[in-house]
Amino acid sequence: MSNKPFITDNFLLETKYAEELYHQYAKDQPIIDYHNHLPPAQIAADTQFDTISQVWLSGDHYKWRAMRTLGIDEHYITGAASDQEKFEAWGKTVPHTLRNPLYHWTHLELKRYFGIDELLNEKNATSIYQEINNQLQQQENSCRGLLHKMNVNT
């Protein structure tokens, strides 16, 4: 297995022209975000999340659908399972989303928000969960902080 990260600065840029257009013209443009999965009340309150499950899984019907398709019990999707158990169930699901945008989105967010280059799976879900939760305790990773990090103009 290669040690080369899956997500790089040229991810999905297949030609030198794509790289030039992105890096010289588009990269630093703000994102005008009329749709994301963070509830407006959490953005307004600048919520400081305790766990990545609260940010990533609590309202993401796309992830829920993938988990249900894999046969994950509803207890680990919208049920009473702990946030860690829900994240671990998502970690089990992610490798099965290969060739689906969920796979790319998951790894883009791990890299860009939290600096994690590992491919999320069942074996490393617990350590990734703990690492992200530690980072979420930093003020710059509050709800608005995460949006600001990605240059989102809401």
Tokens read off for 19: 């790289």
Decide if 29 is inside a domain. no
DSSP alpha helix (H) spans, the chain: 16-21, 40-45, 52-56, 61-70, 83-93, 101-114, 125-136, 143-149
Decide if 19 is inside a domain. no
Residue 37 has a pLDDT of 76
* pLDDT tens digit at each of 154 positions of the chain: 557 788 889 988 999 999 999 999 999 998 887 677 788 899 999 999 999 999 999 989 999 999 999 999 999 999 999 999 999 999 999 999 999 999 999 999 999 999 999 999 999 999 999 999 999 999 999 999 999 988 888 6
How many domains in the chain?
1
Decide if 49 is inside a domain. yes
Decide if 7 is inside a domain. no
Which residues 6+ apart lie within 8 Å of 150 measured at CB? Answer: 31, 112, 113
Decide if 22 is inside a domain. no
